[in-house]
Amino acid sequence: MPPSTSSLLSILLTLSSTLIPDPVFAHSHLSHIVVNGALYHGYDPRSPVKNPDSNKTYNNPRPNHPGSVAWSYAAFDDGFVAPENYSHPDIICHIGATSPKAHAPVRPGDLIHIQWNGWPVGHVGPILTYIAPCKSQSGCAGVDKTTLRWTKIDESRPVLEILPNNENRWDVEHGRAGIVGKRWATDVMVAANNSWQVEVPRGLARGAYVMRHEIIALHFAAKRGGAQNYPVCFNLWIEGEKEGSVTLDGYDAREFYRDDHIGVWVNVTAPALASYIIPGPTIASWAMPVPYAQQTSMLLRSEGTPVVVTRSTETVLWTAEVTPTPTGQAVRHRYHLRG
């Protein structure tokens, strides 16, 4: 049921205060996704987690929002996965990531609007998106992330554009571009209120999937091992064809990148840098990335209702004891950690 006018106003006000990027805060997380105007909650990993019944704090992942479709993880500083961990499970969906029960229902051809909490303009780099099917009876709930096999469906090409006559100087002066005379994919994202749109691929078989969305920040990448990967994952239920008409790839995320790849070890401030080689697997031939011209902000209209997968081919509407809140924080007296 759509929220009341006062409830929706409260959501919009909370999101507007949440999504204004802090010029000092250097890291970010998935605030939420929006599908056809419906909002599905992300995950805020920042610590410390406080027990409201005592003065204790915990270095544990913050409890996930009860209706969140986003994976929880333990990057307490809102930070990144370093290249030294490219072969570690942390690169899959972030540090110590675990899957929630809820899935966002979507249809082939839908645009998923992925909203980051903020992004520093100087942290330039590519924006990549992958998808992996889940075959268990509960869909992607509690899935072993090391068993997921991925297909790349977006790589924000062209990641780097050289603009004539420094034509984006205005954007630089107004804090919306990273390097004068060059436009990176992250500049496009920042200009769209720190958000990115991805099309749900057409031809996918009906079922549960994890979408893996990632920014690789290259501002320290002139030094080997200096790249910063920000992978975030969320669960989807796709109302596709029974069998599907496209062939998925089978890439292991722990084999996506190498720390010596030219797209990971690169000096983005070098004046001579005129092109960029995108790291990771080849994008699927049938994928339909959303072009830069269509990367715009999207206004939510209502709270979305996630689903829970049953029998791997059926779903029921998600329900909970508490009313979802737009900040990703549930009612604390029911969901805090006890020591």
CA 16/CA 165 separation, integer angstroms: 34
Residue extents of the structural domains in the chain: 34-295
pLDDT on residue 232: 98
pLDDT in tens, 117-131: 999 988 999 999 999
* CA R_g for the chain: 19
- What are φ and ψ of residue 83, in 5° steps? -55, -25
Fold of 34-295: Coagulation Factor XIII; Chain A, domain 1 (2.70.50)
**Quick check: 99 and 19 in contact, CB under 8 A?**
no
Closest C-alpha among 153, 226, 215 to residue 184 = 215
Mean pLDDT of the chain: 84
Q: Which residue has the higher pLDDT, 39 or 311?
A: 39
Residues sharing a CB contact under 8 Å with residue 79, sequence separation 6 or more, in sequence order = 27, 228
CA 138/CA 126 separation, integer angstroms: 33
Q: Percentages helix, strand, coil for the chain, rounded to the nearest 5? A: 15, 25, 60
User: Hey, what are 44's tokens?
Assistant: 């805020």
User: What is the reported pTM?
Assistant: 0.85
Closest C-alpha among 221, 156, 152, 163 to residue 190 = 156
Q: Which residue has the higher pLDDT, 167 or 64?
A: 64
pLDDT in tens, 176-205: 667 888 899 999 999 999 999 999 999 999
